[in-house]
Structures are given as C-alpha cells and as structure tokens.
C-alpha cells in the first residue's frame, strides 16, 4: 500500500470534473475487471456483476480517457425473465466484441483484460455534469 499526505484535503472539497471526449466510435481496451455486487437500491439489486474499466486507445492524452462498463452476471431470485435474458445477452455481446471464447460453461474475467473492441461513446448529463458513457461495444473490423 502507498500513502500520501493529504494536508486536510477532503473528497467533498471543491468541484471535481473530468473533461469529456466527443461522442463517437473509439478503439477501446479492457484494462481492469472487478467482481462486485449491484447496490441494494439498483434496478437489479444484490446481483453479481463484473465492473470493467476500459480505456480509449489514443495517442492524444485528452482522448485517452477511461470508461466503466458493468455486466450483471448472475440472476437474482426476483429478476424477471426479460431482465435475465437482457443480462445474458449483454455479457454474450461483450464477449463477441472482445473476441473472448467460452471454455465450456465458464468465462474467466481475466480473459477480457487487454482485449480491444470498438466502443460507441456518447455524452450524457449526470447530476448536472457532462460525462461520457459507453453505450455499445462492437468487434473491431480488420
């Protein structure tokens, strides 16, 4: 673990904002995947999910931004059949975009790390601030 001196800085101090990139299609790379649970007040509460961090591949420092993409994995007992199908299709779609193969009945989250795909980035307003969102993922075309 690494520590720094914060000199009394609090997370609530000041306005933290990150510049957005223009909406468009970008080559993205999966840089991290974390196992998480959806929040209790989420649309699909207390479900296992993978939280992917993806970075836009660009030589331009301003364009090389990160985006986060969540895939809900396992059904919750209260999940509707339509929602279950949506979650299943979502992970299959991302597997195709990243060219990740299924080994029998299992997929390892580490198989996504380093994989590239075409990301459709849009701009949305969240809590009054502009931010980027990954709206779709597609396979890269040679």
Three-class SS of residue 82?
Answer: helix
Residue 51 binned pLDDT confidence (cut-offs 50, 70, 90): confident
Average per-residue pLDDT in the chain?
78
In the prediction, which pLDDT does 69 show? 64
Q: Look up residue 71 and give its two tokens.
A: 């895939």
Which sign, positive or negative, has the C-alpha torsion 63, 58, 97, 112?
A: negative
Residue 63 binned pLDDT confidence (cut-offs 50, 70, 90): low
In the prediction, which pLDDT does 75 show? 58
d(CA 88, CA 67): 21
- pLDDT tens digits for range 4-30: 545 444 545 455 556 788 889 999 999
Report yes or no: 125 and 38 within 8 Å, Cβ to Cβ.
Answer: no
Q: b vs e for 54-63, b when ≥16 Cβ sit within 10 Å of the residue's Cβ?
A: bbbeeeeeee
Q: H helices then E strands: how many in the chain?
A: 1, 5
In the prediction, which pLDDT does 20 show? 81
């Amino acid at each position: 673990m690494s520590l720094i001196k914060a000199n009394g800085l609090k997370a609530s101090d000041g306005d933290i904002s990150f510049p957005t990139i223009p909406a468009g299609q970008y080559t993205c790379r999966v840089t991290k995947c974390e196992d998480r649970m959806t929040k209790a007040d989420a649309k699909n509460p207390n479900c296992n999910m993978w939280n992917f961090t993806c970075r836009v591949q660009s030589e331009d420092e301003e364009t090389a931004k990160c985006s986060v993409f969540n895939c809900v994995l396992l059904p919750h007992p209260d999940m509707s059949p339509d929602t279950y199908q949506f979650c299943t299709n979502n992970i299959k779609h991302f597997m195709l975009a990243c060219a990740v193969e299924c080994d029998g009945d299992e997929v390892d989250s580490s198989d996504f790390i380093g994989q590239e795909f075409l990301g459709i980035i849009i701009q949305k307003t969240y809590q009054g601030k502009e931010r980027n969102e990954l709206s779709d993922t597609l396979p890269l075309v040679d």
